[in-house]
Amino acid sequence: MKFLKKRLFWVLAIVLCSITFTTAYATNGTTQEPPTISTLKHDEPTSTRIKQLEDIAMYYYWHGGDIKKAETEIFKGITLKGKFDVVENAFIQAALLDPHNIDLKFSLASTQIIQKKLPEAFQTYKQILNLEPNHFNTNLVYGVYSRINGDERTYNRSISKLKRINAKKANEFVQKINRTEDIMKEKFNVEVPANLPQKDHAIVILGYALADDGSMQPTLIERLKAGLAIAKKYPNSKIIVSGGVPKQGVTEADAMSKWLISQGIEKDRILLENNSTDTVENGLFTTAILEKENLKDVTLVTSASHMRRALTVFKEASDFYDKMNGKKSGRNFTNMVYLDFPSLAEAQKVPNDEKLVIYRDLFRTSGIWQYPGLQR
């Protein structure tokens, strides 16, 4: 009996420790930073230590960085603000604790891709494939990222292997890849498009991270100005403002809606999508609204540096909803951009850094989580 009580005591202590660790920095989102990897105890069960490392990785995926720095170091059109060197180190340590765990290795490779550490990522993908040669998702992302890096041979090998593993699924992804390549060739509209539908049409304005005081940053205001120009020319169109991540209790969608109303837009024209935290969720959550409202045509409004990724995500999300609901919506997408480049010609160029981000979000929208079981 004494032994049983003692054992229960230690189980409870471990559980409470884990709960304390998780909630200490989750209260109000960012009130307190978690302990560093160096402070982790080495006399706890392996599963507990791995969970703590995953928690550290996910905390620093969301916090600790600077948007402007990320846009400089990763890609101009991205609003990630994590400390990805810390995320990477956490997954390195977790993978050492359980070298058999494929998901930990896949998460590590995803972090290396975000940081544009392609040789390191490719080595991690190779380790996964050495252990599980028929791992579909790894064969797919390894092949596509290799192609972006100029290695067409590895891409072709990967596609051939995917067709042997699951021909139907492989062919579906080839179609997605081909569609994405077409999207990269689309021309941007810097003026209000002509001849947009007068019925069942939505203007979707994508959000941008608010300042810490809850105010809108210049990028978001410029996107709103572009959306407002369309709204004035097409008064029958619904307007969906998409963006969550509250600051001072205000979401991006809240702030966007108030701005549009202040500019004379009727409140009942505006639909709020205020749960999304990134572009992938913009696409998935907004598509649910498009379905509910039976809106067949969409004009996406965002920055030029963000548009190709947004179109990729929204078309994939729309196709997914069609597949899930067993129908063909025939939804059509047009675009209007806030030109955040010196010239339109410059904006139309697609650097490899952007391609990495576009395909990363295509895979995420298609259901392949970059951090399996942790973060889409």
Residue 226 sits in a domain whose CATH number is 3.40.50.620
In a shared domain, residues 44 and 179: yes
Q: What is the Cα–Cα distance from 176 to 359, expressed in whole angstroms?
A: 10
The CA–CA distances, whole Å, from 251 to 208, 225, 246, 274, 350 equal: 10, 18, 4, 6, 31
- Other C-beta atoms lying within 10 Å of the C-beta of residue 32: 11
Mean pLDDT of 273-281: 96
367 belongs to a structural domain = no
| Residue 302 lies in domain | 201-349
Instruction: Identify the weakest region by mean pLDDT among 10-19, 78-87, 115-124.
Output: 10-19
Q: Could you report how far apart the first and last alpha carbons of the chain are, in Å? A: 45
The CA–CA distances, whole Å, from 197 to 167, 200, 229, 233, 307 equal: 38, 7, 15, 11, 21
In a shared domain, residues 222 and 170: no
- Concatenating the DSSP letter of every residue in 185-245 gives TPPPPSSPPSS--SSSEEEEEE--PPPTTSPPPHHHHHHHHHHHHHHHH-TTSEEEEE---
193 belongs to a structural domain = no
In a shared domain, residues 257 and 217: yes
- In terms of Cα–Cα distance, which of 63, 120, 69, 111 is closest to 90? 111
Domain count of the fold of the chain? 2
Helix (H, G, I), strand (E, B) or coil at 18: helix
CATH of the domain at 149: 1.25.40.10
Helix (H, G, I), strand (E, B) or coil at 82: strand
Q: What is the Cα–Cα distance from 263 to 180, expressed in whole angstroms?
A: 35
The CA–CA distances, whole Å, from 225 to 126, 219, 230, 346 equal: 47, 10, 9, 21
275 belongs to a structural domain = yes
Q: What is the Cα–Cα distance from 81 to 365, expressed in whole angstroms?
A: 20
34 belongs to a structural domain = yes
In a shared domain, residues 174 and 213: no
Question: For residue range 84-94, what is the model confidence (pLDDT) as tens digits?
Answer: 999 999 999 99
Q: What rounded mean pLDDT belongs to the chain?
A: 90
In a shared domain, residues 178 and 292: no
184: DSSP letter = T
pLDDT computed for residue 3 by the predictor: 43
pLDDT computed for residue 80 by the predictor: 74
Q: Name 62's Cβ contacts closer than 8 Å, sequence gap at least 6.
A: 81, 82
pLDDT computed for residue 33 by the predictor: 56
37 belongs to a structural domain = yes
pLDDT at 82 over 90: no
Q: What is the Cα–Cα distance from 107 to 119, expressed in whole angstroms?
A: 15
141 belongs to a structural domain = yes
Site of tokens 């003026």 = 191
In a shared domain, residues 237 and 316: yes
| Stated pTM of the model | 0.88
297-303 and 332-338 strand pairing: parallel
pLDDT band for 153, please (50, 70, 90 cuts).
very high
In a shared domain, residues 58 and 139: yes
In a shared domain, residues 171 and 271: no
In a shared domain, residues 230 and 120: no
Q: What is the Cα–Cα distance from 41 to 59, expressed in whole angstroms?
A: 19
Mean pLDDT of 204-221: 96
188 belongs to a structural domain = no
Q: Where are the alpha helices (DSSP H) in 27-83?
A: 46-62, 67-73
In a shared domain, residues 13 and 159: yes
55 belongs to a structural domain = yes
pLDDT at 77 over 90: no
- In terms of Cα–Cα distance, which of 336, 292, 335 is closest to 200? 292
